[in-house]
Amino acid sequence: MDTALQVHHVSYRYRTRKEYAIRDITFDVQPGELILVAGASGCGKTTLMRTINGLIPRSYKGGELQGTIRILGQDPTPLKLAQISQMVGTVLQDPERQIVGAYVLNDVAFGLENLAVPRPEMLERVDRVLRYLGIDHLKERETFALSGGEKQKVAVAGTLVMEPDILVLDEPLANLDPTSVDEALALIRGLVDAGKTVLLIEHRVEDVLSIHPDKALFLDRGEQVYYGDIPGFFQVVNPLDVKLPADVAVHRLKALDVSPPPPRRERRPGEDPLVVMEGVSFGYVPEQEVLHDIHFAVHPGDVIAILGPNGAGKTTLVRHLIGLEKPRSGRVLVEGRDTRDMSVAQIAHTVGFVFQNPSHMLFAPTVWEELAFGPRNLGFDEERVARNVERSLRIVDLEEYAHVSPLALSYGQQRRVGIGAILAMESKILVMDEPTAGQDYRHYTQFMDAIVQMPFEAILFITHDLDLALRYANRVVLLADGRIVADGAPEDVLADEERLRRCRLRPTSLLRMNLAQLPRLGRFVPLEVLADVV
């Protein structure tokens, strides 16, 4: 077999859209190659994946598909989806759309059960994949109780256990902590070295480069801009659109006319806190605590990055800030009031929360109506509602999709709808759970630049992205095993590499470059500033 995958002049238009999602895509992939597929949210990466794994036209009907695809030398046109799935394995962008079993073991074994694999072989393959991903301790856990990152790993395991010849991974790193990213990438590299062919759709380009992809495919607005080796990819892409290694990005930025980003917000710790957690402990089940004696306060002017490994309790902590959970011991005060005495709606006047998974908060028929729902429920008049919605659409760059169903958008675009919905509510405190997961670099810097200039009294965001914390936060909180292990200025907290690694984090090229310049500059700065001083 000379070619694992052939995609020649492939175009596709969804039934409900006038424009083509992808146009005239052409490339060949050889057996055992690792291909990085990059591009902005909504550029057609997921649509291309659906044409390769057979979901288009079998599950997405009524659209217009043109061009030729060959998988392992075969024409997939007469094949059923179950037959294609044994040649092409897929990990979806949203893990909850892929998890079907109540327990991790059942979920990972689901595909093998459908292939009637003998039970001893099935259990051996499941155990092997769980060990490779470092999640064998989750084997007996209920899938609904897993964190977002843990669900992502389970979805990856359910695909890898099928041992297909071609793997299409749609942002498998999106919700993983950095150490888990390294583990997942090492497994992917091992599969490629063993002869598997992998198409890796990913915004975390710098991470993927560590496992040396053979080629990169770069899409822009549905069109193929580049397909070739990595050095050529570096020369084609704009470092403001795609997150490149810091040294490459700084070199490229020197030749561009780049506007400086907004300055980092200054803290105002002397003012009365907006939110206080006093000795908070909590567990979802009596015998297992998730949070242990948390003491934490949010002050006006704070922009707080909450970092830590998957399962550390980060989301549980912020769910207490918005009243979705009540502490088992201790108390949470929002503007001086105990959350036990407040409804979630009352707390929403002060704290707005963007969920990690957009499907948990999207339900309206159009994006405009989605963004209008919150302010209407807070009693805003229609003029104020309209003004807030239009401003939010502009900030999250979704104006052209105002009258489209949010569920018809890409995962990254849905994340921006969720952020826009909270922006429209004018809460005093904005809390975001992994706001950049599934986002391309340009979009997330655009909306984060806009958010930090908005009149929120404080901003909190959970993230695994150290560079996001470095660029925007004036305060970093490290959480591990349900305890706060560090809380302070980014320059202090992120400088301790040993502590970062204990929290399953690792220094990035941008962090290392900033640490080298810290004696000279006195604080961390974004790439655009480093390009002027390095």
Question: What is the DSSP annotation of 78-113?
Answer: TS-HHHHHTTEEEE-SSGGGT---SBHHHHHHHHHH
pLDDT of residue 178: 85
- Tell me the domain boundaries of the chain: 1-87+165-245, 94-163, 275-506
Q: Residue 279: pLDDT above 90?
A: yes
Q: Which pTM does this prediction carry?
A: 0.81
Neighbouring-strand partners of residue 463: none
Domain 275-506, what fold?
Rossmann fold (3.40.50)
Q: Please report the sign of the dihedral spanned by the C-alpha atoms of residue 500, residue 147, residue 345, residue 334.
A: negative
With a CB cutoff of 8 Å and minimum separation 6, the contacts of 50 are 56, 59, 60
With a CB cutoff of 8 Å and minimum separation 6, the contacts of 158 are 98, 99, 107, 108, 110, 111
Distance between CA atoms of residues 49 and 51, nearest Å: 5
Name, of 79-93, 317-331, 357-371, the range with top average pLDDT. 317-331
Least confident of 40-44, 193-197, 356-360, 363-367: 356-360
What is the band of 1 on the pLDDT scale with cuts at 50, 70, 90?
A: low
**Over the stretch 361-414, which tens digit does the pLDDT of each residue have?**
788 999 999 999 989 988 899 999 999 999 999 988 899 999 999 988 877 788
Q: What percent of the chain has pLDDT over 90?
A: 63
**Over the stretch 231-247, which tens digit does the pLDDT of each residue have?**
999 999 999 889 899 99
What is the band of 153 on the pLDDT scale with cuts at 50, 70, 90?
A: confident
**Over the stretch 458-514, which tens digit does the pLDDT of each residue have?**
999 999 899 999 999 999 999 999 999 999 999 999 999 999 999 989 999 999 999
Residues 87 and 119: beta-carbon distance below 8 Å: no
The mean pLDDT value for 145-168 works out to 84
Q: Both tokens of residue 175?
A: 């919700």
pLDDT of residue 256: 85
With a CB cutoff of 8 Å and minimum separation 6, the contacts of 529 are 260, 261
Please choose, from the candidates 505, 426, 501, the residue with its C-alpha nearest in 3D space to the C-alpha of residue 468.
Answer: 505
Q: Is 238 exposed, middle or buried (0-12, 13-18, 19+ CB in 10 A)?
A: middle
Asked: is 1-87+165-245 a CATH 3.40.50.300 domain? The reply is yes
Q: Residue 55: pLDDT above 70?
A: yes
pLDDT of residue 451: 85
Q: Residue 437: pLDDT above 80?
A: no
What is the band of 446 on the pLDDT scale with cuts at 50, 70, 90?
A: confident
Name, of 20-34, 136-150, 355-369, the range with top average pLDDT. 20-34
Helix (H) or strand (E) holding 199: strand 197-201
The mean pLDDT value for 245-272 works out to 87
Q: Both tokens of residue 377?
A: 């429920």
Q: Residue 85: pLDDT above 70?
A: yes
Q: Before 309, cis peptide (omega within 30)? A: no
Print burial letters for 383-400: b (CB count within 10 Å at least 16), e (below 16): eebeebbebbbebbbbee
Question: Which is more confidently placed, 413 or 48?
Answer: 48
pLDDT of residue 148: 67
The single-letter code of the amino acid at 59 is: S
The mean predicted confidence, pLDDT, of the chain is: 91
What is the band of 316 on the pLDDT scale with cuts at 50, 70, 90?
A: very high
Helix 441-452 / helix 411-423 crossing angle, nearest 10 deg: 10
Domains 1-87+165-245 and 275-506 share a fold: yes
The mean pLDDT value for 111-134 works out to 91
pLDDT of residue 227: 98
Q: Residue 149: pLDDT above 60?
A: yes
